[in-house]
Chains A and B, each alone.
Chain A
Amino acid sequence: MPHVSVDVDGVRYEDEVEARLLLTHYLRDRLGKVGTPIGCDTSNCGACTVLMDGLSVKSCSVLAVQADGHEITTVEGLGDGQDLHPMQRAFHEEHALQCGYCTPGMIMAALDLLRDNADPSDEEIRAGLEGNLCRCTGYQNIVRAVRRAADGMRQAERPEEARS
C-alpha cells in the first residue's frame, strides 16, 4: 500500500493507505477528523471542503495519496484554540447555519473565496460559493456572514487603514 505523509491541522501523520482511499475517508475514518462531513458522492455539495496548501478542495474528490506531502486544513484547525476564526464567528453572528451540516465546507470554501477576492460583492460571494450547497438557510445569511468576515479580516490585516 502507498505511504502518505500528510500534515492535517498542524499534526503530521504517516500512514499506509489503499491507493483508492478518498481523502475525506482518510480524514474521517483513519484520523478521526470527523468535523468534515460528507454530503454526496459526486462532488456537487461541497460539505467535505477542506484547504490543501491553502486552496479549497472537495476532499471527496481527492485521493489520500494525492495529499501526500501536502498541508490540509479542516474546520477543526481554524481559530487559535481560544478564539474562533473570524469566519466562524461571522457564521454564528449572522445566523448563517441551521442544521450546520454544510457549514464546515461552506466556511472553508468561503476562506478560499476571500483569498482570491478580499472584498467581494454579494454577487461575487454567491458565484464563489456555487459549489457548496445548503438546504436550510436559502444562503442569504451565508452571504452576509462572508461579507462580515471579509470586512473583519481586511481590517485585521490593515489596522492602519481601518483606523483612518
Chain B
Amino acid sequence: MSEIAPEAVAEQVTPSTPDATAEVGRARLRTEDARLITGRTTWTDNIQLPGLLHVAFLRSPISHARITRIDAEDARRRPGVIAVVTGADLAGEQGSLPCAWPVTEDMVLPDHPPVAVDEVRYVGEPVAAVVARDRYAAVDALEAIDIDYEPLPAVVDMERAIEEGTGLVHADKGTNTSYTWVFEAGEPDAAFRDAPVVIERRYVQQRLIPTAMEPRAVVCSAVGDEYTLWSATQIPHILRLMLATVTGIPEHRLRVIAPDVGGGFGSKLQVYGEEVVCLLLARRLGRPVKWTESRSEGNMAVHHGRDQIQRLSLAADRDGRIRGLKVDLLADMGAYLMLVTPGIPLLGAFMFNGIYKMDAYSFRCTGVFTNKTPTDAYRGAGRPEATFGIERMMDELAAELGLDPLEVRRRNWIAHEEFPYDTISGLTYDSGNYEAATEKAMRLFDYDKLRAEQADRRDRGDPVQLGIGVSTFTEMCGLAPSRVLGSLSYGAGGWEHASVRVLPSGKVEVVTGSSAHGQGHETAWAQIAADRLGVPFEDVRVLHGDTSVSPKGMDTYGSRSLAVGGVALYNACDKVVDKARRMAAHLLEADEGDLEFSGGSFSVKGVPGQARTLQEVALAAFAAHDLPEGFEPSLDSEATHDPENFSFPHGTHLCAVEVDTETGFVKIRSYVAVDDVGKVVNPLIVEGQVHGGLAQGIAQALYEEAVYDADGNLTTTTMADYLVPSAADLPTFTTDRTETPATTNPLGVKGVGEAGTIASTPAVVNAIVDALRPYGVDDVPMPCTPERVWRALRAAQSGQAPPGGSPEPGAGGGLGSAGGAA
C-alpha cells in the first residue's frame, strides 16, 4: 500500500476540544433518558382517552386480486363491535394517499385509496376496518368478515414487470413503469470509447423492512369539528397538512402530535392509510379511536426500503484513474407511490460518483410497479444504494488492476486541497479530508498487519480466510436547499424553523420544527441554546412534536435535524441576543456598539461592573416599564433556515471478516469507522448514531431481506423470519472522528444520522469478496448468509457463472422458513 499523502495528515483535522465552559462539544448525558429508563414514556399506544375504541384492520391475503364481494354483517353483529367499514363504505371520503414527489412530468401516479375498494395490489393492503370496545374484540371480528377475491396475475419480478406481455399492477395505466429519470454529465460514451478498462457489474439491493422497535400506532379524537391525532410519526407537520389535504378537514381544525416515538429510520416518514382511516372513524363515530399494529401486520404494511437492481459500468485508465461511470437502475416502487417513493432512488443519483473525480457520468432510473408493499425512505434513502454501488466497483477496479483498494481510491478521490469541489453530478462538496480519515482508520485498523495475516492465511490454505473491506464514503445530507428540491419537482421546501422564548424568570423555551424520535434533540438543542444565550443547560427546555406547540416545521429525516433545524435554532438565539442587546444598552445607558455579550451577560467595554445578564434583561422586557423607543416588550425570536447547500459527511470504514470457506459463515473480526461529520454538538450522541447506523448497514450486508415468494406472498412477516441482528450477531466497533467543519452553516455541522448505515454495507461485502477472490469469487449477493457465501464459492470453483447478484432468495429471510425460489 503506497502512502497516503503525508501532508494531509498534518492538516488540522483532529476533533476539536471545546473549552471547559462550552456546551457545544460536550458529551452531555441525555435529558430524555429520565423517562425512558423508568417506563414513564408516552408512546402512542399508552394513551387512554374516555370512551376510547379500538381499531383493527383486515388485510389482503393475496398479492393481486379483484374484490368481488365483501360481507361484513356477521362481523357487525359480534359482541362489542361498534362499526365495520370497507373501502366501499369510505370511498366518498377517504381520498387518495399523497405522493409529494412527481419526479417527471409524465410519471404514472395511480390512485391509492387508504382502504382498497375493488382491487388489492399487495399482501397486507387494508380491505376493511373493525371498531370495537377493546383490542381483542376488534381482532376477533376480523375473522367474521367474508371476502371473495378473484385472483389476478401477480407481478413480483422487476425485470419481467417491464417486459411486454407481463400482467399489470394497475391495468388502467397500461404499464408497470412509473417513470424513467435520467441525468448525464460530461460525455459518457466518449469516456467509455477505447477505455483500457471497463468493468460491468449487476448488483441487487435487496428489499429491507425498516423495523423501528415501536410498531405504528394512531390515536384520534374528535371534539366538535376539532381533531387531535396522535401518531407514531417522524413528521407531525407534514402529516397535518397531508391529512387535511386528503380528508378535506381544514388544516387549522387538525392538531397532530408525535408523542414519544420509538424509532423511525424513515418508516415513519409517511402518510399512512391507517392514519387517514382513524381520523375518518373518529369523525364518523364521534368517539376517540386507537389503532396499534402488530409486528406481523407491520412487516407487510409499513413501507419497505431499498430494492434496486443496479447495472453499473465503470471505465478507467490502466493506472486506475476513472474515466466515467454509467448507472442504470430498476427501482421497485411496490404497488403504489407513497409520500416520497419515486424520489428515493434519485437521492442516489448525485452520490454514485462518491468521493471520486471523473470525466463523465450517466444515471438512469426506472421506477417499476410490482405487487409488493410500497417502498419509500429507509435510513440513507438512495444514498446507501449508491455508495454500495460505487464502493463495490472501486474494489472491482482495484482487483482488475492488481492494486490495493485504498490505492485505487487515493488515485481518484478529491484531494483535501481541492475543496470546495464541484462534482460530476453537479454538487459542490464544501469540505472534507479523505486522506486524513483514511490515514486514521488504517492506523486504528492496523491495516498492514491484517494484510500480512491475510497473505499468510492464503499461503497456508487456511479454510478460514481473512478479508478486508474498504468503504470511503460520502453522503449528502441536511435535506435540503428548497431551490434544489424545487428543481427536482419535490412538493415542498427543505427549511426548518425554531423559536426561542425567554421567560420572565430567565428560563428558556426552545421550540423546534424538527421532530425527534430517539435522536436526542432535547439534549443537543439545549446545548446549542445554552451556548448561544449564555444560560445554564438546565435552564433550557426543548419543545417539539406537537403542531399546537410547534406550529411550523419540516420534521426529522435525511440527517437534516442538526444541519438545518440546529442552524435555525442558532439563528433564532442570535436574534434574541440582538433584541436583548438593544434593551441592555438602554438599561445601561450605553451605546449598543459599546456592549459585548459573553457568558450570558452584556457589559460595557472597558467599564467593569457595568453589566446586565440576559435574565435581567428578559425580566425588564417583561415588566416593560422602561423600554427603548419603539421596543416590543419581548426578547422572543424565531428563525426559519433554508440551507444554501447540502452537507457532506464522509469517512473511511474498514472491515475485517473471517470467512469459513467450508461452511460459508462470516464473522466480523474488526470494524473501524472514522467519520468526519464536521463539528460535533454532543460526541456521545454522535457515537451512538454511528453505532446504530453501522448495525443497520451490517444487517443489510449479512442478515436482512424481505423475501417474497413467486405469488407475491411476503414470507418474512415476523421477527423470526426477518433477521434483525441481536447483540450476539454484531461486533464491537472502533469509532473515531476527523473534523473538517462544514463551511455552509455557522455551526460547522454536517449531520450523522445515516452515515454509519451508508458506509458499512459495502465495507462488509467488500471484505467478504476480498476473502474469497482467490477462489474466483467476485460477488456474493446480499444478505451474505452462510448459504449464499457457500454457493458463491462452489459456483466459482465449479466454473459456473458467479451468482452476479441473483435476486434468488436463499436462507436470507432467516431461520430457514423463507421459501422463495431457493
Taking a contact as CB atoms under 8 Å apart, the answer to whether B37 and A91 are in contact is yes
A residues near B213, Cβ cutoff 8 Å: 39, 45, 47, 99, 101-102, 133-136
- Is A84's CB within 8 Å of the partner chain B? yes
B-side contacts of A76, CB under 8 Å:
38-40
Whether A135 lies near B718 (C-beta < 8 A) is no
Interface residues contributed by chain B, number (CB under 8 Å): 58
Of B271-279, B404-412, B580-588, B684-692, the one with at least 4 CB within 8 A of chain A? B684-692
**Chain A's nearest CB lies how many Å from the CB of B519?**
7
Contact A45 B719 (CB under 8 A): yes
CB-contact partner of A138 in B33, B211, B262, B692, under 8 A? B692
Q: Mark A26-50, 1 if CB is under 8 A from B, else 0.
A: 0011001111111111101101000
Contact A98 B519 (CB under 8 A): yes
Q: Which residues of A are found within 8 Å of B693, using beta-carbon distances?
A: 138
**A97 interface residue per 8 A CB criterion:** yes
Question: B719 contacts A92, CB within 8 Å?
Answer: no
List residues of A (107-139) whose CB comes within 8 Å of B's CBs.
107, 122, 125-127, 129-139
Residue contact B39 to A135, C-beta cutoff 8 Å: no
Residues facing B in A57-94 (CB within 8 A) are: 74-76, 78-79, 84, 88, 91-93
Known contacts A42-B718, A141-B688, A141-B691; A135/B36 CB under 8 A = no
**The residue from A29, A39, A91, A127 contacting B215, defined by CB atoms under 8 A apart:** A39
Q: Are B691 and A138 in contact (CB under 8 A)?
A: yes
Q: Which of A20, A40, A95 contacts B719 (CB 8 A)?
A: A40
Give the complex CA separation of A137 and B691 in angstroms.
6
Q: In the complex, which residues of chain B have a beta carbon less than 8 angstroms from the beta carbon of A79?
A: 38
How far does the alpha carbon of A134 sit from the alpha carbon of B726 in the complex, in Å? 7
Q: In the bound complex, do residue A101 and residue B38 qualify as a contact, i.e. CB atoms below 8 Å apart?
A: no
Considering only CB atoms, which chain A residue lies closest to B690 in the complex? A138
Give the complex CA separation of A19 and B778 in angstroms. 57
A39 touches B39 (CB 8 A): no
Q: How far is the CA of A133 from the CA of B48 in the complex (A)?
A: 27
Q: How far does the alpha carbon of A18 sit from the alpha carbon of B37 in the complex, in Å?
A: 31
Closest to B689 in A: A98
A residues less than 8 Å from B508 (CB atoms) = none
Q: Which of B33, B34, B261, B724 has the largest count of A CB atoms less than 10 A from its CB?
A: B33
A14 to B265, CA, bound (A): 41
Of B46, B212, B719, B727, the residue contacting A143 (CB under 8 A) is B727
Measured between beta carbons, the chain B residues less than 8 angstroms from A35 are 38-41
Q: How far is the CA of A75 from the CA of B696 in the complex (A)?
A: 27
Is the CB–CB distance between B261 and A99 below 8 Å?
yes
Q: Is A91 a contact of B33 with CB atoms below 8 Å?
A: yes
- Judge whether A75 and B38 touch: CB under 8 Å: yes
Q: What's the least CB distance linking A34 to chain B, in Å? A: 4
With both beta carbons as reference points, the residue of chain B lying nearest to A102 in the complex is identified as: B213
Pair A37/B262 contact, Cβ less than 8 Å: yes
Inter-chain contact A133/B719, CB cutoff 8 Å:
yes
Does B61 reach chain A (CB closer than 8 Å)?
A: no
The listed residue (A28, A100, A133) touching B518 by CB distance below 8 A is A100
Known contacts A135-B213, A143-B727; A34 and B695 CB within 8 A of each other: no
- The 8 Å CB contact of A136, one of B35, B215, B295, B518, is B518
Contact yes or no, B260 A100, CB < 8 A: yes
CB pair B294 A138 closer than 8 Å: no
Asked if residues B296 and A104 are in contact (CB atoms below 8 Å), the reply is no
Number of A-B contacts (CB under 8 A): 185
Size bin of chain A's contact surface: 35 or more
Minimum C-beta distance from B200 to chain A (A):
35
Interface residues of B in 697-736 (CB under 8 A from A): 718-720, 724, 726-728, 730, 732-733
Residue among B37, B43, B214 with the highest chain A CB neighbour number at 10 A: B37
* Distance, CA A34 to CA B290, complexed state (A): 15
A100 engages B211 (CB within 8 Å) = no
Q: A92 touching B29 by the CB < 8 A rule?
A: yes
For chain B, residues 2 to 50, give those with C-beta under 8 angstroms from any C-beta of chain A.
29-30, 32-41, 43, 45-46, 48
Within 399-434 of B, Cβ neighbours of A (below 8 Å) are at none
A107 to B41: give the CA distance in the assembly, Å.
Answer: 15
Does A56 interact with chain B (Cβ within 8 Å)?
no
Known: A37-B214, A92-B30. A99 touches B295 (CB 8 A): no
B682 CB, min distance to chain A CBs, angstroms: 9
Kindly report which residue of chain A lies nearest to residue B293, judged by CB atoms. A41
Interface residues of A in 136-152 (CB under 8 A from B): 136-143
- CB of A100 within 8 A of CB of B262, answer yes
Q: Which of A35, A36, A107, A127 has most chain B Cβ within 10 Å?
A: A35
B190 to chain A, nearest CB (A): 45
Whether the Cβ atoms of B695 and A45 lie closer than 8 Å is: no
B45, A38: Cβ atoms under 8 Å? yes
Residue of A nearest to B214 (CB): A101
Task: Say yes or no: A135 contacts B684, CB within 8 Å.
Answer: no
A126 touches B29 (CB 8 A): no
Interface centre among B520, B687, B688, B718 (most CB of A within 10 A): B688
Query: Which residue of chain A lies nearest to B731 when distances are taken between CB atoms in the complex?
Result: A140
- Alpha-carbon distance A75/B33, docked complex (angstroms): 13
A78 / chain B contacts, CB cutoff of 8 Å: 38
Q: Is B135 an interface residue when CB atoms closer than 8 A count as contact?
A: yes
Residues of chain B contacted by A21 (CB below 8 angstroms): 136
Render B48-74 as a binary contact track against A, CB cut-off 8 A, 1 for contact.
100000000000000000000000000
Contact A126 B688 (CB under 8 A): no
Task: Say yes or no for B170: interface residue by CB 8 A criterion.
Answer: no
A84 to B39, CA, bound (A): 12
Contacting pair B38 A99 (CB below 8 A): no
Do B726 and A99 have beta carbons less than 8 Å apart?
Answer: no
Whether B695 lies near A138 (C-beta < 8 A) is yes
**Distance (Å) between the CB of A124 and the closest chain B CB?**
10
B34 CB contacts on chain A under 8 angstroms: 92
State how many angstroms separate the Cβ of B701 from the closest Cβ of chain A: 14
Contact of A84 with B38 in the complex, beta carbons under 8 Å: yes
CB of A135 within 8 A of CB of B41, answer: no
In contact, A92 and B692 (Cβ under 8 angstroms): no
Report yes or no: B33 in contact with A99, Cβ–Cβ below 8 A. Answer: no
Assuming A127-B728, A133-B719, A135-B724, is B691 touching A140 (CB within 8 A)?
yes
Q: A42-B295, A127-B728, A130-B728 are in contact. Are A93 and B38 (CB under 8 A)?
A: no
Q: Does B545 contact A (CB under 8 A)?
A: no
Answer yes or no: B263 CB below 8 A from chain A CBs: yes
In the complex, A84 Cα to B29 Cα: how many Å?
Answer: 15
B134 at the binding interface (Cβ < 8 Å) = yes
Evaluate contact between B733 and A140: CB separation under 8 angstroms: yes
Q: Output the least CB separation between B719 and chain A (Å).
A: 4
B470 touches A (CB below 8 Å)? no
Interface: B528 (CB within 8 A): no
Highest count of chain B CB atoms <10 Å: which of A38, A44, A125, A138: A138
Q: Is B563 an interface residue (CB 8 A)?
A: no
Distance in Å: Cβ of B724 to nearest Cβ of chain A: 5
Contacts of A101 in B (CB 8 A): 43, 212-214, 262-263, 518
Residues on A with C-beta less than 8 A from B518 are 98-101, 136
Q: Are B720 and A95 in contact (CB under 8 A)?
A: no
With A36-B39, A135-B211, A138-B730 given, is the CB distance from A97 to B694 under 8 Å? no
How far apart are B737's CB and chain A's nearest CB, in angstroms?
A: 16
Residue of A nearest to B517 (CB): A99
A95 touches B295 (CB 8 A): no
B687: chain A residues at CB < 8 Å are 95
* Least Cβ–Cβ distance between B329 and chain A, in angstroms: 27
B38/A37 in contact, CB under 8 A: no
User: Could you say which of A41, A104, A137 contacts B295, with CB atoms under 8 Å apart?
Assistant: A41
- Interchain residue pairs with CB less than 8 A apart (15): A33-B39, A40-B719, A41-B295, A42-B295, A92-B33, A97-B36, A98-B520, A99-B517, A107-B37, A130-B727, A135-B692, A136-B692, A137-B691, A139-B727, A140-B730
Return the 10 tightest CB-CB contacts between A and B, nearest first. Answer: A35-B39, A99-B518, A100-B36, A101-B262, A138-B691, A44-B719, A138-B695, A40-B295, A34-B46, A139-B727
Q: A95-B685, A135-B211 are in contact. List 18 more A-B contacts (CB 8 A).
A: A18-B136, A44-B718, A45-B213, A76-B39, A95-B684, A95-B688, A98-B518, A98-B689, A99-B518, A100-B36, A100-B518, A129-B726, A129-B728, A133-B724, A135-B265, A138-B756, A139-B691, A140-B733
